[in-house]
Amino acid sequence: MRNDNNEIIPVANDSDIITPELSNLTQTKQDQVTGKEIKIVTQNITLRSNDRSKKEVVDWRTALIQAESVYYPNRKKLYDVYEDIILDGHLTGIINKRIDSVLNKRLLFKKGEQPVPEIQLLLKSKVFRDIIYEIMQSKMWGISGLEFVPGEKLRFNRIPRKHIKPKWQIITINEYDIQGISYTDLANVWIVGDPEDLGLLLKCGFYALLKKGNIIDWAEYIEVFGSPIITMTYDAGDRQTELKIDELLDTIGNSTKIKLPKQAGLTVADGKASNGDGKLQETFTTTMDNSMSKVILGNTETTSSSKSSGFAQSKTHAQQQLEIIKADMVDVIDLLNSDHFLNILRSYGYPVEGGYFEYDKEIDIAYMEAKIAIDKELVAMGLPTPTEYLYETYAVDEPTDSTKLLKPATNYKPDKKDIQSPDMSDQEPITLETIQNTIKEELKAFFALAL
C-alpha cells in the first residue's frame, strides 16, 4: 500500500499474528503502549455482515454473558444486538444529542496563551470532528479504534469493534479469533475506551428490545381492531345467498370480514373496556424511552414535556445534563492531550511540541446574571477584588497599552442600583466575618421594611 507521497506503507501479514500467553488469559491489560511501527492492519480483516435476525431480551442476556467471559470474552454477539437497537429513533436522537453537545463546543490548541494557527485550521475540519465523534462513540459502545494512514493529510480508518480484543490488546482477522496483531506495537493505531467497559448501549439494550416487542404487538393490535369489522349472515341452507355474500365480500376492501350462518353466534372482543385507546402500549413505550434517556442524558425532562413541576424541574434536569457534558469534555481533552495522540499529530508535521488542547470558555448568561449581582454587592461592601478575577470570570480580555477602549455614552446616567467600587487605599482589609455581619444587617433591614 502507498501513502500520499507514493511511499510504500507496510501492511500487516500472517507473521505479525500473535497468540496471547496463557498467563494473560485471566487478566485485562489497561494501558496502551505507544509503539514505533506503522502498519495498515484493516486490510487484513475479514469482514462479516451484521447478524440481522430478530433480537429479543434473551439474546441480549446471552451476548452479555459471552462478552463478560473471564477466559475468552467476545463482543461479537453483543455488538450485533447494539446494531439492532440503534435503529430505535429515540435512542438515536438522545445519543446524537449528547455527542453533538460536545462536537459543537469550540476547541483550541495553544502554546502558552496563544492558539496555533496551523492546528486551529485542522480543528475546523471534518476529519477532526470525526475523531471527536469516535471518542464519544466509545462511551456508547465501550471502545473505538482508529487506524491513522500515513501521508501529508490527517486521515484514518475505523477499526471494526468486533475485531478489537482489549483483553489481550490485539486486533483479530476474524470476529471470533483469540489471536491477532498486537496494537501496542503500532504507532498509527489508537484504541480509545476502557478495556472492561461494554458501553452505555448495554443498559439501553434491555429497554430498547422491550420497546420494540411492545410496538410490534401494538401494530398487530391496530391491524386487527383498528379497522371496521364487517359481519354478514345467511340461512344455513341458502347456498345461493352464500355465494352472493362471498362475491360481495371480495369487493369490499381490506376490512376484517366475517361470514356466518344466522344460526351461529359471534362475539368480537376488541378490548375497549380495558385498553381500547392504546394508552397501555403508549405508556409502556414512553417509560422505555424515559429509561433510555436517563442512561444516556442523565434525565428525561430535556427530551419530553415536564409532567411534574413544570419549568423548574426541567431547568434542574437541564443543569444535570450540563454536568454530564462537562465530564465528556474533560474526557475528550484528556485523550487529545495524551502522548499517543500528540505523537500521531506530530507524525503529520503539526507543531504540537509544548502545546495543549483546551475548550474555549463559554458564558452561561443566566448564571452570569445571578453571579454579577453577587459580585457587585460584595465589591460595594468593600471586599477587595482583583481585576484579574473579573476579567477571567466574565471572559473579557484584559486590555494592553495599545488596546482601544470603549467609553461610556456621554448621556448615560447610572441607575441607583449601579455600584461604584469604593476607594480602598486608606482602609483596612475587610474580613469575611465583617461581610457576613453586614449581610445579616442588610437582611434584617430589608425584612423590617417588608413588614
pLDDT confidence bin for 323, thresholds 50/70/90: confident
Considering only the C-alpha atoms of the chain, give the largest distance between any 2 of them, rounded to a whole number of Å.
117
CA distance 79 to 319: 32
Q: What string of DSSP letters covers 369-386?
A: HHHHHHHHHHHHTT----
CA distance 350 to 118: 7
pLDDT for the residue numbered 443: 58
Q: How many angstroms separate the Cα of 11 from the Cα of each of 3, 184, 200, 221?
A: 12, 16, 34, 56
Amino acid at 148: F
Query: pTM of this prediction?
Result: 0.74
Q: How many angstroms separate the Cα of 166 from the Cα of each of 43, 74, 267?
A: 20, 10, 61
Amino acid at 223: E
Q: Using one digit for the tens of pLDDT, what is the confidence trace for 59-114?
A: 999 999 999 999 899 999 999 999 999 999 999 999 999 999 999 999 999 998 88
CA distance 347 to 215: 51
Question: What nine digits make up the cell of 24?
Answer: 494473560
Reference 385, options 374, 396, 395; nearest CA is 374
pLDDT for the residue numbered 336: 96
Number of helices (H), then strands (E), belonging to the chain: the values are 14, 12
Q: 15-29, 65-79, 205-219, 366-380: lowest mean pLDDT where?
A: 15-29
Q: Using one digit for the tens of pLDDT, what is the confidence trace for 296-315?
A: 998 875 555 445 555 445 55
Return the SS3 of 101: helix
In eight-state DSSP terms, residue 161 is G
Do the Cβ atoms of 257 and 230 come closer than 8 Å? yes
In eight-state DSSP terms, residue 309 is S
Question: What nine digits make up the cell of 79?
Answer: 455488538
Q: Using one digit for the tens of pLDDT, what is the confidence trace for 369-425?
A: 777 888 888 888 888 888 888 777 776 777 877 777 766 655 555 555 544 544 544
Q: Using one digit for the tens of pLDDT, what is the confidence trace for 137-157?
A: 999 999 999 999 999 899 999
